[in-house]
Structure 1
């Protein structure tokens, strides 16, 4: 059963991203690979992490980009068109400190009321870890390099640049927490 959500997530993400946004699809596959590498840390929530990692950027798909804020657009698509699991939708909506970017965009209350944060810190941190240690092309990187790349791509004065400046300490802390849990695990 758990495998079904992963297969479904991969099918949906590939359909929406692979031909229209091949580079975003490459990033998505890399993030999903990081999730597969760390999902054992989460026990029963491991498959939820893998599905969320696979779907986290679905809102970039051109046909889904209603508001232009990909976490919100992706979560609404998953909820409204697919009736997806509520926890999965909430993870997609809030991935990588999206509430901070929502604030920059003036939609924090909308995001927070439609998709409240999950109360599972390790699961939330694990998704941040997977996203923020994966390059746009799907390769591995450090969180510091990823944040610098995003800021360079969008510019420091853009909405995304301002968000990244604010979120960077939280991103680095989340990645550090996951690294600590990984280091404490027997191989």
Structure 2
């Protein structure tokens, strides 16, 4: 699944959106490290694939609604037989808050969110990598989003309407899982 996801993301992002391509590669690298620590092997592969594909909906040829999580999920649902992957892409980083503001909540609900360690690890990885693919803190990532999008943007309004708390909760749970895994390794 990972090789398929890499090829698909590269085909749709590398030339057209090189900065986005750098970002998803960074998210995948971090997701791979996190997944090895806290997930089963099968979930690790899904995490890396979701990390590579979470922003594929930005590709011009895939734009339908103009909301990249939904457009990416719809594309993946048609391309791949793994609905789990489409659900992760649709809901990454508290996408439902933006979807509601944009009037796309019903359409996004076709891809139910899961509240699992895998989902949290994807959100964590997305929130810890800059748009250029470099590691950042959660606070740096949120500050960058606020500056890049501006205070009146739908994304910043969604952050203030609850997406920030949802993202922070996923990051905190993942950090806790990582700490617990490290503690177990130390005892062994």
Please classify the TM superposition score into its range, dividing by the shorter chain length. over 0.9
Report if aligned partners of 1:101, 1:159 keep a CA contact under 8 Å in 2. Answer: yes
Does residue 177 of the first structure (1) align with residue 173 of the second (2)?
Answer: yes
Hey, what does 1:122 align to over in structure 2?
117
TM-score scaled by structure 1? 0.93
Matches within 5 A, 1:1-187: 5-40=1-36, 41-43=38-40, 44-80=42-78, 82-112=79-109, 114-118=110-114, 120-166=115-161, 167-186=163-182, 187=185
Unaligned 5+ residue runs, structure 1?
none
TM-fit CA distance, 1:47 = 0.8
- SS where residue 60 of structure 2 aligns? coil
Report if aligned partners of 1:143, 1:171 keep a CA contact under 8 Å in 2. Answer: no
- Provide, for residues 117-159 of structure 1, a one-character-per-residue CA deviation record: whole Å limited to 9, x for no partner: 12x4211111110000000010001111111111111111111
Within 1, Cα distance between the matches of 2:56 and 2:30?
17
- SS where residue 131 of structure 2 aligns? coil
Unaligned 5+ residue runs, structure 2?
none
Within 2, Cα distance between the matches of 1:169 and 1:110?
23
- After superposing on structure 2, the runs of 4+ consecutive aligned residues of structure 1 that deviate more than 2 Å are none
RMSD (CA atoms): 1.1
TM-fit CA distance, 1:58 = 0.2
CA, structure 1 residues 173+20, in 2 after alignment: closer, same or farther (shift >3 Å)? same
Report if aligned partners of 1:18, 1:25 keep a CA contact under 8 Å in 2. Answer: yes
Q: How many residues align?
A: 180
